[in-house]
Chains A and B, each alone.
Chain A
């Protein structure tokens, strides 16, 4: 509020109120794992807002505990609506596929952030190729487990 509020309530002295919790800002994050019909693989969609319900900027999101990128944050090209990996050929142009960008949730239509799934299939395939014996639970389950490993490389997935 820019201007003064004419009517501020009077607060009595209250020794029984402790300081409100000072632990820093709290983020509310909703994470979805959705099948993306466009890319035909599961994709990781999420929204992140602060205590007031306002959406977080992309800069804040990548610096938050949600992610732990294997490369230094300074090497990422962060723009208002997407994060690009540095170009694979070392040139100044960013890679044509962004790492993290905005899009519509495939089911709810809500605007979310999502990790770009273009690189997912090759990465998962690479992991699966290293397995020697056929899996007990079936290949679909193995694929999904490998997908979580790939996701875990950038997103923090542990509980507690």
Chain B
């Protein structure tokens, strides 16, 4: 007769088990590597019909670990039975690898055997099966290494089954019989809160069978002849062979009658719910024999046990669950931020091009009040690359107005502002690529001392490189002349330049126009018909000069109403985003927000300049054409810079009048002076009409 082959358990872990283990380790276990009680469940083996071939396919023989595994009073799912096991969580991978697995396995097997061997008042049948689980949790990488063992005792000689093998339970017990078993098992499940793992059957009245619990063997089978005694078990296997739990049940039965040959009627129960449609009862029935139960070998405490689970490759080794995609908080933050932005697109503005905004590399010159608020708003739009430049250190008055600094940052002389701001951005959102650079930008009207020339030369080269590696520049400094070099560079390299400046209760936010002579990329709508838009200096007829020396204290600190900076900063960012959404980008025509404007982007207007008046709680849009003698963006200046680079910058900083001469403003003065002199002021005319 063929040997009975038992299908080993396959472990099936729910992600929530790993979440619970993580919590347990962090909150309770910490470094404790002692045994932790854990429970797992299994249900009757199921089959499904393969949609493509039409064949019935078994779903395996699984023992499942879920989120209730550590709860002492866990109730299993419907029609599932519970097995109690032991888990050992090692603290290092080395401990996991070098643990004495054989010793642990033997320890559990000894315990199982002690509970399984006969004793008239043997405990609950939950102890007929158990499992060992060793784990190591790599909490930095969210990888969980684990290895299961399901000890079962080898029978010697092995159990055998009749040549006809397993038949249908319905044929052996009759339709009424199977129905009656199902009914009683369902009642028992309601009573105990879990499905029975093992149970007894004896014939009853009218083709029905009576179900009893395994512990009641003695009395239940008292007056039942052996050939009518049936032993049932919940079978997790879905194929022809019976599942693992049967093995220890048979060991238990034979240990009650050592040495005696046995012939048992076994019911493999696979029907949690009644079959639907045309399906038959899945449960099976067979006769299983033990020719002669050999006595235990000399000196052996118990039969040999087997049951280590093989890994996915079929080899003896641990398995690993990689939960990083689900649990890595940085990844979760990234996805959440993206999703939030996409909601805007899905619900309100399908044409919004979020990727364009996120990809824009932003350079913020100034990490003060404006800089901090601009950085925050950019992060809100999903911008991933932000570089801050500032020469100062965090001072005690800063944190209340500059939201990227804390009190601690002011101590010990104060941290460098740019780097500190960048660090803070990363704390808010780890996925941001933020950098802070300490740099002092040279300014016209502030001659460069000879000892500093080389240093400033390097600074300018660094600044040029920053422009080359960014797409949009924000001028957020607190003086007029400090914006000159950034303006020239921005025009020369045709970058998006956003300018924001604050008065006490007024602000200016503007976008600089494109470089003269450049045109929007071909393929876009018709070329712009408006005049080239101006820069910060286009309305000036004097070059920027030293406005900082001899300032009084209140002038130096640029005292402004606190609510002004966030308004101006966020306006600057929103103006940039609206411009980015416009097909013409930097060449977008100035639009003022009236409903019939054609120049809008999907977000609305793309004005040239905004001036805001907090005292009146309103703002105005202004358009200013470029001035051909501008000291910041005219071709004369830009070309001079491109030709001589740092030398030109040095002259602008050192020599008074250089920029006026370069741009032709000097002639303008002479011309207007000449006009003034040409007027014939008639001093005698006392009676004019005014």
Chain A interface residues toward B at CB < 8 A: 1, 3, 5-12, 14-18, 20-21, 23, 26, 28, 38, 47, 49, 51-55, 57, 65, 81, 96-97, 101-104, 111, 116, 118, 160
Subset of 9 A-B contacts with CB under 8 Å? A7-B101, A15-B5, A17-B5, A17-B6, A17-B8, A47-B15, A49-B15, A51-B10, A52-B144
Q: Which 5 A-B pairs have the closest CB atoms?
A: A52-B321, A18-B5, A53-B13, A96-B350, A21-B60
Q: Are B97 and A15 in contact (CB under 8 A)?
A: no
* A104→B58 CA distance, assembly (Å): 34
The 0/1 profile, CB within 8 Å of A marked 1, for residues 1-37 of chain B is: 0011111101111110110000000000000000000
Q: Which residue of A lies closest to B64 (CB)?
A: A28
* A57→B158 CA distance, assembly (Å): 44
The 0/1 profile, CB within 8 Å of A marked 1, for residues 154-172 of chain B is: 1100110000000000000
Q: Across the interface, which residues of A come within 8 angstroms of B12, CB to CB? A: 26, 28, 51
Q: Are A23 and B58 in contact (CB under 8 A)?
A: yes
Q: Are A52 and B276 in contact (CB under 8 A)?
A: no
Q: Are A23 and B308 in contact (CB under 8 A)?
A: no
B192 CB → nearest A CB, Å:
26
Q: Are A11 and B306 in contact (CB under 8 A)?
A: yes
A24 CB → nearest B CB, Å:
9
Q: Are A12 and B306 in contact (CB under 8 A)?
A: yes
Q: Are A1 and B60 in contact (CB under 8 A)?
A: no
> Interface SS of chain B: helix, strand, loop or mixed?
mixed
Choose the segment among B80-88, B205-213, B311-319, B537-545 that binds chain A (4+ C-beta atoms closer than 8 Å).
B311-319
* A101→B100 CA distance, assembly (Å): 45
Q: Which residue of B lies closest to A16 (CB)?
A: B158
* A21→B62 CA distance, assembly (Å): 9
Kindly state whether residue B336 has any CB partner on chain A within 8 Å.
yes
* A7→B237 CA distance, assembly (Å): 30
**Choice from A1, A9, A54 contacting B97 with Cβ under 8 Å:** A1
Q: Are A16 and B276 in contact (CB under 8 A)?
A: no
Q: Are B99 and A7 in contact (CB under 8 A)?
A: yes
Q: Across the interface, which residues of A come within 8 angstroms of B6, CB to CB? A: 16-18
Q: Are A20 and B310 in contact (CB under 8 A)?
A: yes
Interface hub of A5, A21, A53, A118 (most chain B Cβ within 10 A): A53
Q: Are A52 and B320 in contact (CB under 8 A)?
A: yes
Q: Which residue of B lies closest to A50 (CB)?
A: B321
Q: A1-B318, A23-B60, A102-B335 are in contact. Are A7 and B13 (CB under 8 A)?
A: no
> Interface SS of chain A: helix, strand, loop or mixed?
loop
Q: Are B346 and A97 in contact (CB under 8 A)?
A: yes
Q: Across the interface, which residues of B come within 8 angstroms of A28, CB to CB? A: 12, 14
Q: Which residue of B lies closest to A93 (CB)?
A: B353
The 0/1 profile, CB within 8 Å of A marked 1, for residues 294-338 of chain B is: 000000000010101010100011111111011000001001101
Q: Across the interface, which residues of B come within 8 angstroms of A57, CB to CB? A: 325
Q: A17-B6, A18-B6, A20-B310 are in contact. Are A26 and B97 (CB under 8 A)?
A: no
* A10→B102 CA distance, assembly (Å): 8
Q: Are B304 and A53 in contact (CB under 8 A)?
A: no
Q: Are A53 and B60 in contact (CB under 8 A)?
A: no
Q: Across the interface, which residues of A come within 8 angstroms of B317, CB to CB? A: 1, 5, 8
B501 CB → nearest A CB, Å:
37
B585 CB → nearest A CB, Å:
18
* A1→B315 CA distance, assembly (Å): 12
Q: Across the interface, which residues of B come within 8 angstroms of A7, CB to CB? A: 97-102
A52 CB → nearest B CB, Å:
4
Chain B interface residues toward A at CB < 8 A: 3-8, 10-15, 17-18, 48-49, 51, 57-62, 97-102, 105, 144-146, 149, 154-155, 158-159, 237-239, 241, 247, 276-277, 279, 304, 306, 308, 310, 312, 316-323, 325-326, 332, 335-336, 338-339, 343, 345-347, 350-351
Q: Are A81 and B335 in contact (CB under 8 A)?
A: yes
A42 CB → nearest B CB, Å:
17
Q: Are A9 and B102 in contact (CB under 8 A)?
A: yes
Q: Which residue of B lies closest to A95 (CB)?
A: B350
Q: Are A53 and B320 in contact (CB under 8 A)?
A: no
Q: Are A16 and B15 in contact (CB under 8 A)?
A: no
* Given A54-B323, A54-B326, A101-B339, 5 extra CB contacts under 8 A: A5-B317, A21-B10, A26-B10, A47-B15, A55-B15
Q: Which residue of A lies closest to B7 (CB)?
A: A18
Q: Are A16 and B3 in contact (CB under 8 A)?
A: yes
**Choice from B237, B247, B312, B335 contacting A16 with Cβ under 8 Å:** B247
Q: Are A20 and B10 in contact (CB under 8 A)?
A: yes
Q: Are B100 and A53 in contact (CB under 8 A)?
A: no
A110 CB → nearest B CB, Å:
9
Q: Across the interface, which residues of A come within 8 angstroms of B335, CB to CB? A: 81, 102, 111
A81 CB → nearest B CB, Å:
6
Q: Which residue of B lies closest to A52 (CB)?
A: B321
Q: Across the interface, which residues of A come within 8 angstroms of B332, CB to CB? A: 111
Q: Across the interface, which residues of A come within 8 angstroms of B99, CB to CB? A: 7
**Choice from B10, B62, B241, B345 contacting A96 with Cβ under 8 Å:** B345
Q: Which residue of A lies closest to B338 (CB)?
A: A81
Q: A14-B154, A17-B6, A65-B51 are in contact. Are A5 and B318 (CB under 8 A)?
A: yes
Q: Are B144 and A53 in contact (CB under 8 A)?
A: yes
* A52→B10 CA distance, assembly (Å): 10
Q: Across the interface, which residues of B come within 8 angstroms of A96, CB to CB? A: 345-346, 350-351
* A12→B159 CA distance, assembly (Å): 17
Q: Are A26 and B276 in contact (CB under 8 A)?
A: no
Q: Are A6 and B97 in contact (CB under 8 A)?
A: yes
**Choice from B59, B277, B320, B346 contacting A26 with Cβ under 8 Å:** B59
* A39→B345 CA distance, assembly (Å): 13
Q: Across the interface, which residues of A come within 8 angstroms of B51, CB to CB? A: 65
Q: A21-B61, A81-B335 are in contact. Are A160 and B13 (CB under 8 A)?
A: no
Q: Across the interface, which residues of B come within 8 angstroms of A54, CB to CB? A: 15, 321-323, 325-326
Q: Across the interface, which residues of A come within 8 angstroms of B155, CB to CB? A: 16
* A58→B146 CA distance, assembly (Å): 25
Q: A9-B101, A16-B154, A21-B7 are in contact. Are A53 and B14 (CB under 8 A)?
A: yes
Q: Which residue of A lies closest to B21 (CB)?
A: A53
Q: Across the interface, which residues of A come within 8 angstroms of B4, CB to CB? A: 16
Q: Are A53 and B58 in contact (CB under 8 A)?
A: no
Q: Across the interface, which residues of A come within 8 angstroms of B14, CB to CB? A: 28, 49, 53
Q: Which residue of A lies closest to B318 (CB)?
A: A1
Q: Are B158 and A21 in contact (CB under 8 A)?
A: no
Q: Across the interface, which residues of B come within 8 angstroms of A65, CB to CB? A: 51
